Amino acid sequence: MELTTWFWFGFYLIFFFISSAIGYQKGHFIAGVLLGYVLGPIGALLMYFSKDKKHIVCGACQAEIHHKSYYCPKCNAKVRGQVKHLVK
């Protein structure tokens, strides 16, 4: 194969792994894999700006915590049942 073919293959492969990693971190792994596979760098950007499903914001101290937490580890306030998701 030509050098340019290998370049573009590597270019999309790198962004495939980047969007998959971002998707895994935000709780959208399958979407990250699919967007990285189909769209490459555009898919990585879409995953970067997507909403985080794994974290919520504590209503008392505004700390970022895991969505399955019952109490905030910083201020010990009860957070179970809150619906505020982390918006970046």
> In whole angstroms, what separates CA 42 from the centre of its chain?
14
β-pairing verdict for 55-57 and 64-66: antiparallel
Tell me how far apart the alpha carbons of residues 19 and 40 are, in angstroms, rounded to a whole number: 8
pLDDT value of position 81: 63
| pLDDT value for 83 | 53
Give the pLDDT score at 55: 79
Tens place of pLDDT per residue across the chain (88 aa): 788 999 989 999 999 999 999 999 888 899 999 999 899 899 999 899 988 778 788 878 888 888 788 888 888 888 876 555 444 4
pLDDT reported for residue 27: 85
- Give this prediction's pTM: 0.66
